[in-house]
Amino acid sequence: MLTPMRWTQEGLYLLDQRLLPRHEQWNLCETPEEAAEAIRDMVVRGAPALGLTAAYGMALAARQLANEEACHSENSDSHRDRDPLDRHSYMDRIFEAATMLTDSRPTAVNLSWAVKQQLEVAAQTVGTGGGVGDLYGALIDKAQKMHEEDILTNRSIGRHGAALLRDGDRILTHCNAGALATGGYGTALGVIRFAHDAGMNVQAYATETRPYLQGARLTAWELTRDGIPVTLIVDGAAGMLMQRGDIDAVVVGADRVAANGDTANKIGTYQLALAARENSVPFYVAAPTSTLDLDTPYGSGVEVEKRDPAEITQFMGEQTAPDMVRAVNFAFDITPAELITGVITENGLAEAPLLESLERMIRVNKPHGGDSGA
């Protein structure tokens, strides 16, 4: 199973997605700082994968504390008499890591969702007298459980989404909401993958997704790897294909879905949704309930990240635009709820009006243990 991250004794290995499809290089993160840097620099991307990286990053923070204590205990034999202040300072360090990881990128809500869960685990462990070793153990257990659950979640999204497709469907997707964007299997690509694995004759159309070319570099790569037919187009060609009747459904991922259903996703998604409505093509968002942010009532409340203009003015280090030209590089846009046919979650399809149906998707989940990604 393709996954963009692997936990080992050494730490968290992340597949460097900036180098795909030309090189498969795994970068080791040994500290929460390195995990945050990997998120900021887009070694890893995709809302669910960012959440998991942050969850592992929290475990790395605890491991750092455990290592420090181990060093300290070699120089002192009073380490058994840990006083409450120590625990406070542990938690201060854990909170610092939490803030750093949450702030590493602003738009994907999964970062704060994952960090919040790890903070609960930390508070419980420390509150019941656990030491840093226990803290590390609890946080790494939780991160690994979240990783496993994410894959199960994506399979459920895939199953619910595939039920909406018909044999022969041509499905347009944007950016990469695949195995590489999650713990594995993918959300939007999970839908296509599930349908394909179930023997349906489906094929994908992938927008190349400027400026980072996640569609060309990642989606095309992971689908061809799995033998799923995929056709690459430029972002501007999606509308024309829909107009020609070449697309049967659009399925995209999400970085954050507001309570009313407004969806933050990769820049360009909004234009695809407009073209889909114009041409009566159903437009689905595939996202785990961990990407639903009921605390944000509307899309206008979502902070949209602005990234380095050089991502547009340069390509592979080569200047493509004239020197000194101004560029604005919003990483995401907001697709209004009224353009969305439905949100495919692990608990089923939320249909319009999304304000009610999305809340139901989260409530469905609560009895199973409170982990909204479960």
Query: Cα torsion at 155, 158, 163, 166 (round to 10°)?
Result: -140
Question: Whose Cβ is closer to a copy of itself: residue 71's or residue 327's?
Answer: 327
Active-site residue flag, 255 = yes
Taking the complex as a whole, how short is the minimal distance between the CB of residue 110 and a copy of itself, in angstroms? 21
Question: Whose Cβ is closer to a copy of itself: residue 121's or residue 247's?
Answer: 247
Question: Whose Cβ is closer to a copy of itself: residue 99's or residue 243's?
Answer: 243
Taking the complex as a whole, how short is the minimal distance between the CB of residue 313 and a copy of itself, in angstroms? 7
Distances in Å between the alpha carbon of 341 and those of 160, 189, 274?
14, 17, 12
Distances in Å between the alpha carbon of 172 and those of 15, 163, 246, 248?
25, 16, 9, 8
Q: Do 55 and 143 touch, CB atoms closer than 8 A?
A: yes
Q: Which helix (H) or strand (E) holds 335?
A: strand 332-335
Residues 6+ apart with CB under 8 A from 199: none
Question: Whose Cβ is closer to a copy of itself: residue 99's or residue 320's?
Answer: 320
Taking the complex as a whole, how short is the minimal distance between the CB of residue 322 and a copy of itself, in angstroms? 4
* Centroid of chain to Cα 368: 22
Residues 6+ apart with CB under 8 A from 223: 178, 189, 192, 204, 206, 229, 230
Catalytic, out of 150, 255, 293, 333: 255
Question: Whose Cβ is closer to a copy of itself: residue 70's or residue 240's?
Answer: 240
Taking the complex as a whole, how short is the minimal distance between the CB of residue 269 and a copy of itself, in angstroms? 8
Question: Whose Cβ is closer to a copy of itself: residue 28's or residue 234's?
Answer: 234
Taking the complex as a whole, how short is the minimal distance between the CB of residue 217 and a copy of itself, in angstroms? 6
The token duo for 19 is 């180098």
Taking the complex as a whole, how short is the minimal distance between the CB of residue 238 and a copy of itself, in angstroms? 7
Q: Is 105 helix (H, G, I), strand (E, B) or coil?
A: coil
Q: Do 372 and 113 touch, CB atoms closer than 8 A?
A: yes
Q: Which helix (H) or strand (E) holds 141?
A: helix 132-162
Q: Do 54 and 26 touch, CB atoms closer than 8 A?
A: no
Q: In the complex, which residues of this chain contact a copy of itself (CB under 8 A)?
A: 21-22, 207-211, 213, 216-217, 220-221, 224, 229-241, 243, 266-271, 274-275, 278, 309, 312-313, 315-316, 318-322, 324-330, 333-334
List residues with catalytic annotation. Answer: 255
